[in-house]
Chains A and B, each alone.
Chain A
């Protein structure tokens, strides 16, 4: 329950975003990210459906490399 999932923002509609990772799309809430301007193409760490942190594309890729092994 405590492991965040890195995703990429595909579309933003208010506080809702359509995010994608590894071909899977999910509705993600940006409500916890009001302190950080986000745009399409940005990467975020998603926890139980909520973006909790903006990350770099490098972090996105390296995290998935690890998750592919441990999850």
Chain B
């Protein structure tokens, strides 16, 4: 019988893990900022057997948001008569411009641009209803954030609300790591709320195609430890499958309405990830039928292909490697000089960035 993890506490799962006979070191990757936060705050790294290491992977949408998209948003806000709205996390992310130029949405706002942080797509609609000029919604995020943005469009928005779409899908980044032949991890913890909206099936390719154990986890230490145990056990028994250690919330098929809206409004396109490059079929783009709400269609482009360090991470910043789980945050040589108060790279800006999570939890 499959164990019912909700009836067991963290201690039980830790004991289960300790009974496993691991013959070599195992790296478990998570791809969700929420998971990394739970792991860090609960101190799970320090209680696991030494052979097990936990590596944060691509779990921070702000961190991988293309530099050129943030540049575009800044320039639109500075040069066009518009109001720009964005999730608060995006405002402080710097682009690669000289120090004396405007390098973030926050600085653009201080320079007089009309930029407003929002917490929900519904706020974007309210703002657009109140003012006459175009309102550009700079929408960066993973599936959990983008589905609500799409549903907002399906429900109907004022004519003056335009979306600057910069959304990404999570699984293609993991697929890219696995396809590279050097994934850098032995088992995978699949994201809880991404799986809630998209359905856990999205992650079945990990065990099926790559023979890597995988389990969806929630955010409690119990659920995470149960998922660690599941994947380690799969490894030990040489049997991989996708386990669901968050069944109360993650159900077959995901959010049916949201996924239907997604198919109606977006195409899935090859897309750039900051510091990483193009990942096939990893980006959301608005379909032509929604062109009248597409900021890329309705407003002039400020793309400047000649710009220095276009698309790159800030000089010296290890975020590209942190994002792909190639290094731990504290292995970046700027870690410590770069802090949440004075961030150099996006991984130190976002609440979901591994650097910020590690720093905030006293990891040095």
Contact = CB atoms under 8 A, between A and B. Distances in A.
Contacts of A4: 144, 193, 196
A66 B220 contact: yes
Interface in B1-20: 6
Interface in B240-280: 248-249, 251, 255-258, 261
A27 interface: yes
A65 B6 CA distance: 14
Interface in A39-62: 45, 47-50, 52-53, 55-56, 58-59, 62
A50 B155 CA distance: 12
A58 to B, nearest CB: 8
Nearest to B261: A32
B255 A53 contact: yes
B220 A1 contact: no
A1 B61 contact: yes
B62 A1 contact: yes
Interface residues of B, number: 48
Contacts of A13: none
A3 B148 contact: no
B127 to A, nearest CB: 13
A2 B194 contact: yes
**Interface centre among A15, A33, A47, by most B CB within 10 Å?**
A47
A48 B119 CA distance: 6
A67 B62 CA distance: 22
B144 A47 contact: yes
Contacts of A59: 248-249
Interface string B19-62: 00000000000001110011001100000000000000001011
A71 B251 CA distance: 25
B151 A2 contact: no
B120 interface: yes
Interface size class of A (residues with CB under 8 A): 20 to 34
A48 B121 contact: yes
A50 B121 contact: yes
Given A47-B193, A50-B151, A1 B122 contact: no
A53 to B, nearest CB: 5
B122 A27 contact: yes
B68 interface: no
Nearest to A59: B248
A63 interface: yes
B142 interface: yes
A8 interface: no
Contact of A52 (B122, B141, B255): B255
A52 B119 contact: no
Given A50-B120, A70-B41, A55 B249 contact: yes
Interface of A: 1-4, 15, 27, 29, 31-35, 45, 47-50, 52-53, 55-56, 58-59, 62-63, 65-67, 69-70
11 contacts: A31-B257, A33-B255, A35-B255, A48-B87, A49-B120, A49-B148, A52-B196, A55-B248, A62-B220, A66-B38, A70-B41
